[in-house]
């Protein structure tokens, strides 16, 4: 049962990250990320209740509070002050091509997994790997700094998803990751606020 729920959650997350590639507006990307985190948090909650594990339930509440509510709201607030950042002006990769590439990444990670790591166990692990590659591709294919930040957060979500398949990381590590994420987003927001005066400079953020 948990197995099927994991597949359902994983593929909904993959479909949402494909949807992110489709969107030009950064606010839509942020909302999609919020939905992704809500789904992940609810899945964590379900997992914790099922296994009667109090630390996972606390972790799910923390996830929903930070990733699904606080970070999207903070990012949307900072964007509202800088309207010119709200939209991807020019695409480095055209939209339909980037959708196709992110689907191909899914197939690639499945094939890679079956070829290389198959002895380690379940083919389910290819789902978080897919999500991670898609987050990385979101960073590479966008020049807007907010979209790149969302890409990092998607990668981090994938790590969270991956940690389920092994017997669970210690609670302190997971909570630490959430703190890290908060820090990254705050620093990112402040950095982008300082560099407010020039639109071109946002391109310095990708290396």
Residues that bind another protein (CB under 8 A): 3, 7-8, 11, 14-15, 18-19, 22, 95-96, 99-100, 102-103, 106-107, 110, 114, 122-124, 126-127
Question: Under a CB-based contact definition with an 8 Å cutoff, are residues 29 and 150 in contact?
Answer: yes
- Which is nearer to another protein, 78 or 109 (by Cβ)? 109
Q: How far is the CB of 37 from another protein (least distance, A)?
A: 21
Q: Positive or negative, the Cα torsion across 171, 13, 184, 205? A: positive
- Which is nearer to another protein, 108 or 171 (by Cβ)? 108
- Residue 76's contacts (CB-CB under 8 Å, 6 or more residues apart) are 27, 30
How many Å separate Cα 22 from the centre of its chain? 15
Q: How far is the CB of 97 from another protein (least distance, A)?
A: 8
Measure the CA–CA gap between 105 and 2, rounded to whole angstroms.
25
- Which is nearer to another protein, 5 or 173 (by Cβ)? 5
Q: How far is the CB of 120 from another protein (least distance, A)?
A: 14
Measure the CA–CA gap between 31 and 72, rounded to whole angstroms.
7
Q: What is the CB neighbour count within 10 angstroms for residue 49? A: 12
Q: How far is the CB of 141 from another protein (least distance, A)?
A: 13
- Which is nearer to another protein, 46 or 171 (by Cβ)? 46
Nearest to 202 by CA among 146, 119, 140, 118: 146
CA distances for 29 relative to 55, 154, 160, 170, angstroms: 30, 11, 19, 31
Q: How far is the CB of 186 from another protein (least distance, A)?
A: 34
Q: How far is the CB of 7 from another protein (least distance, A)?
A: 6
- Which is nearer to another protein, 74 or 110 (by Cβ)? 110
- Which is nearer to another protein, 16 or 56 (by Cβ)? 16
């Amino acid at each position: 049962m948990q197995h099927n729920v994991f597949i359902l959650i994983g593929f909904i997350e993959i479909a949402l990250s494909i949807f992110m590639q489709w969107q030009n507006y950064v606010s839509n990307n942020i909302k999609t990320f919020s939905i992704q985190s809500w789904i992940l948090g609810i899945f964590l909650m379900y997992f914790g209740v099922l296994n009667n594990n109090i630390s996972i339930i606390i972790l799910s509440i923390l996830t929903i509070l930070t990733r699904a509510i606080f970070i999207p709201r903070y990012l949307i607030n900072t964007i509202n002050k800088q309207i010119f950042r709200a939209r991807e002006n020019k695409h480095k990769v055209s939209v339909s091509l980037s959708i196709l590439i992110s689907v191909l990444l899914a197939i690639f990670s499945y094939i890679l997994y079956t070829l290389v790591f198959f002895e380690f166990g379940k083919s389910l692990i290819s789902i978080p790997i897919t999500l991670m590659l898609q987050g990385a591709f979101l960073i590479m294919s966008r020049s807007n700094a907010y979209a790149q930040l969302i890409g990092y957060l998607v990668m981090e979500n994938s790590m969270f998803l991956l940690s389920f398949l092994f017997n669970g990381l210690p609670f302190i590590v997971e909570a630490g990751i959430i703190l890290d994420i908060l820090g990254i987003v705050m620093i990112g927001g402040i950095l982008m606020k300082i560099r407010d005066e020039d639109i071109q400079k946002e391109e310095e953020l990708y290396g």
